[in-house]
Amino acid sequence: MPKNELILSLLKELTSDPNSSAEKSLKELLREDPSQQKEADQLSAIWSDSSSYKTNDNFDSKAAFAKFQKTIAVGAVSQESNTTQEAKVFTLDNISTKEKPVINLFRRRAILAVAAMGILLVTAGAFFFQGEEKVLVNEGAIVSTQFLPDGTEITLSPGATLALSTGFSKKDRNLEQQRGQIYYDVAKNTEMPFQLSIDDLKIIVTGTSFNVKWNKTVQLDLIEGSLVIEHKNSDYQLSAGQQLVFDPSKQSVVIREEIDPNAVKWTKNGLSFNSTPIEKVLKDIESFYGVNIDIDTEIPPNCHFTSPDLTNVSLNDLFSILLSAQGMIFDRLNSQNYTLVEISCKE
């Protein structure tokens, strides 16, 4: 019995009425796999212990909240000059849903019970969605790594959006990448292929690692394994080390024999440039930081950029590096939109 299935069944049984269908379902699961009984008993004990917690009527909620505000203020991340932006952690609360349910406030005893099981669920790799539409959105200012219910590990750039089918990991493994950059380390399952849709493309894999950058054009870099890409009436077979670029405006597909150096680097909170054309530098910055950069100046031909180590570098600091290296000046319209207004392209 998969560990996630045991935990889900146990959670339903603990939160349902006695003699409910959930209790019967749990008994049937344990009857099929008695080896899970010990673990089920341990999880039930954790739940019971949390429910016996005694509340403190003298608890000062205002003081506690003030302390919490002070704590998160210390962890704020500076992204632009004169602007301090919180690093929003990508959690269950950041999941967009078609109909977000109303959350009622419980006494701490109930919260502890839910939290206790929640820790176990996260440890087991389970990831929950609420509502009819299942959409993951990284609303933070830094990259976020999560596990999907089928065991696939994904890393999302700021602003990246991924929609999952309602039957994901149970009936199928169908997804749609709606925007941004996402790295996929797909859990192998030959009987249930992983099918990712992006615009007019459909990517079909059983287990592999690849990166998809979706910003005006679609760039797919295959790190390991192989995959098939369907586009209208054509199929394209990719092997490790190859790159596919799709332009929706032209409906064109180009396959290259080398991958982007930043296809993996960005997942470690960094970028790398080695004699990289400025146009590509700007596209990588857009994808990594989740921003839009317009160009209001002429970029000299053969203008390239080679960078120092850019791990954990803020956007503002990167702009300062580009100013020093290539005389690049950016106008800031807001936190998401910038314009390149000047470039001298130093040799």
H or E element, residue 283: helix 278-289
Are the CB atoms for 51 and 108 separated by under 8 Å? no
Q: Which residues contact 30 (CB under 8 A, 6 or more apart)?
A: 36, 37, 40
What pLDDT sits at residue 10?
Answer: 61
What pLDDT sits at residue 37?
Answer: 73
| 19 φ/ψ angles, rounded to the nearest 5 degrees | 65, 20
What pLDDT sits at residue 109?
Answer: 44
Distance CA 24, CA 35 (A): 18
Average pLDDT by stretches of 10, the chain with 347 residues: 58 57 67 68 65 53 59 46 39 38 40 47 37 78 91 94 93 94 95 94 93 93 96 94 95 95 92 94 94 95 91 94 95 95 89
* Reduced 3-state DSSP string for 59-105: CCHHHHHHHHHHHHHHCCEEEECCEEECCCCCCHHHCEECCCCCCCC
Asked if the domains 133-269 and 270-342 are classified in one and the same CATH topology, the answer is no
Distance CA 8, CA 66 (A): 35
| Token pair for 331 | 């106008």
Smallest CA-to-CA distance from 214 within 290, 149, 152, 322 is with 290
The domain at 270-342 falls in which architecture? 3-Layer(bab) Sandwich (3.55)
Fold that domain 133-269 belongs to in CATH: Jelly Rolls (2.60.120)
According to DSSP, the residues that pair with 224 across neighbouring strands are 209
Domain boundaries defined on the chain: 1-52+88-128, 133-269, 270-342
Sign, Cα dihedral of 211, 118, 87, 134: positive
Pairing status of strand 304-305 against strand 329-334: unpaired
